[in-house]
Amino acid sequence: MAKKKKKITKVVKLQFPAGGAKPGPGLAGVGINMPQFCSAFNDATKERKGDIVPVVITAYEDKSFDFVLKTTPAAAMLKKAAGISTASGDQKQVAGTITVDQLKEIAEYKMPDLNANDVEGAMRIVAGTARNMGIKITGFEG
């Protein structure tokens, strides 16, 4: 006999600190068992301490859920690599600097979530984010 498909009630995208999801207003509207989700999320992300982890949660009619972890946002990784706490609101003002090697490392990490065919394409995407944040990349012409 075929397995009955569960009815999806909601799909939401949220961000939590790795290992630090807590029941609260962000999860309240999703309609899932919050403590169960928090414990599953925290277990799955404990190796990524210090990172912000985006997650896509699929909630079902019976209050069960599935979730998919995404890579840390490029902006957070760029700020960490440049050693700054806030980006520049003005693209012309340099907020920080990173090297091409740091750019490549971030691009390789972000590859699964980027719409790029190769690392060079991913580097151009991440470099665009850096440029918008006022972060200068030494030795990169892209």
DSSP 88-106: -SSTTS--EEEEHHHHHHH
Q: Is 51 helix (H, G, I), strand (E, B) or coil?
A: coil
The DSSP result for 54-119, as a single string, is: EEEEEEETTS-EEEEE-PPPHHHHHHHHHT-SS--SSTTS--EEEEHHHHHHHHHHHGGGS--SSH
pLDDT 10s digits, 116-125: 899 999 999 9
Structural domains in the chain?
8-69 (3.30.1550.10), 74-138 (1.10.10.250)
Query: pTM value?
Result: 0.77
Q: Is 12 helix (H, G, I), strand (E, B) or coil?
A: strand
pLDDT 10s digits, 39-83: 999 999 988 888 899 999 999 988 889 999 999 999 999 999 988
